[in-house]
Amino acid sequence: MRTARTASMPWWSSPAGIACGFLLPLMFLIAWAGEVRHPALTIRGVQVLDLGWLMLGGLLLAALALGGALGAQLQPRAGAPRPLGVGADRAALAIGLVAVLAFSVWFRDFLLDPALLWATLSGAYKPERDSIELTPGLTSLANVTPVFFSLYLFRRLDPGGAGRGPALPLPRALHVLAIVLALLTAFRVYVWSERLALIESLVPLGLAVGRWAAARPGAAGTLLRVAGPFAAIPLVILYFGAAEYARSWASDTYQGRLDFWEFALGRFASYYYTSLNNGASLLANSAWPTWTFEFTLEWLHRAPLGLGQPFSTLTGYAGRTFEQHLFTYQDPEFNSPSGLYAVVSDLGLTGAVVYMCAVGLLSGMAFRAYREGRLAGVLLYPIFFISFMEMYRYPYLGTARAFTWTCGIVLALLLARVLAPAPAPASASASASASTLEGRQP
């Protein structure tokens, strides 16, 4: 039996690497930045984030890293993976069309009115989020967009699983869909003021580029392999500042007092410091564990068709209590509970450590499958990776958008199997092999 070939990937792409090499030092850097007195920083509410809470955060990251390191060593029983092919391409096409349909329904007022669209793009008209009509259960399907990009970008940058060119060419329709979905996602960020939507679609690109660059010589490949997310921080701050530009920089608080980079860096540091501080404050000023799963299973509480209410009743969940905490101790404008301390609030310290180990274990297994080019890994690992990137804001895997993304993954796995071409009959293959052998005999 052939064994799976595990492709090399940069240190930062693994769960253990990103937890220990990036998230841990970044947490202490954010905490230090929050203590610096600078006019660009906006720190409101009671500051409770101290060394003790940081050590607790470090413990949870260590649990994540430990589980990730173990999961990455587990070898599946399946044989060597086949390169993603026709079945995966057809699944990507179907998922991409679902996302386009969801976007079309969501932004139909703009797409059907060129004058309104132009006024919005030119800045003459800035719609409020409340003015854009949502269709529950349909517009949320736009959150399957990262599933399409996970398949498309892996095939585009490393389609044969070995970085030596495509096993078969990508259909032109996938290139067209990629352009359309990239434009619709950018429009979503601009109109809906949703920075995360673009980041979700860029995570598959970052992983695919990391896998591609791991075996590439030269300065660019070395920078990507060594610096990784640290090299991306200036771009993230630029993106963050550009998204905050119209809303905050033009206000009297900042205008004329700070240059753009001071403003962007200050808002970025304030945003993440406040998230960590909010979570620490929640633990410091309330009883835990609550066992209501307010943060870790938020999507289940919000499940439609009356499915969420029985779970809420079972756990004693009577609505979000975090907002009341913000009104009492912090600032409702900065409403992220952190993806570290919110888990402790739900599950307690022991439960949080077990939770982090479990997430690390599953993500490590998905990471190994991604390195081997297995379809399940290509689809699953990006959602785990985005949860690491959002670790300091909230438990991403518990959100409704993550649930929709997961549903898209399951659908893609089913479609890839159903839509894959039927294998050639065994008799025909045997006859072809026999004919080839006969032709080679002298």
Say how many domains are in the chain: 1
Q: What is the pLDDT of residues 194-252, one digit of tens each?
A: 889 999 999 999 999 888 887 777 777 787 888 888 888 888 888 887 776 656 555 55
Q: Which residues of the chain have pLDDT under 50?
A: 1-3, 161-166, 428-442
In this structure, is residue 426 part of a structural domain?
no
- Range 171-176, long-range pairs (CB < 8 A, 24+ positions): 171/89, 171/93, 173/93, 174/89, 174/92, 174/93, 174/96
Nearest Cα to Cα of residue 150 among 86, 200, 94, 78: 200
Integer Cα distance of 192 and 188 in angstroms: 5
Residue 359's pLDDT is 97
In a domain, 425, yes or no: no
Q: Give CA–CA dist 413/92, Å, rounded.
A: 10
Q: Tokens 């990391």 correspond to what residue? A: 210
Supply the range of the domain harboring residue 193. 11-420
Residues 71-87 pLDDT 10s: 999 876 666 667 788 89
Residue 4, in any domain of the structure: no
Phi, psi of 125 (to 5 degrees): -135, 130
Q: Are 30 and 278 in contact (CB under 8 A)?
A: no
440 within some domain: no
In a domain? residue 427 = no
Is 184 inside any structural domain? Answer: yes
Residue carrying the six token digits 């005999």: 441
Q: What is the pTM of this model?
A: 0.89
Would 167 be classed as within a structural domain?
yes
Residue 442 lies in a domain: no
Q: What's the whole-number average pLDDT of the chain? A: 85
Kindly state the helix (H) or strand (E) to which residue 314 belongs, with its residue range.
helix 308-315
CA 5 to chain centre: 26
pLDDT at 426 (0 to 100):
52
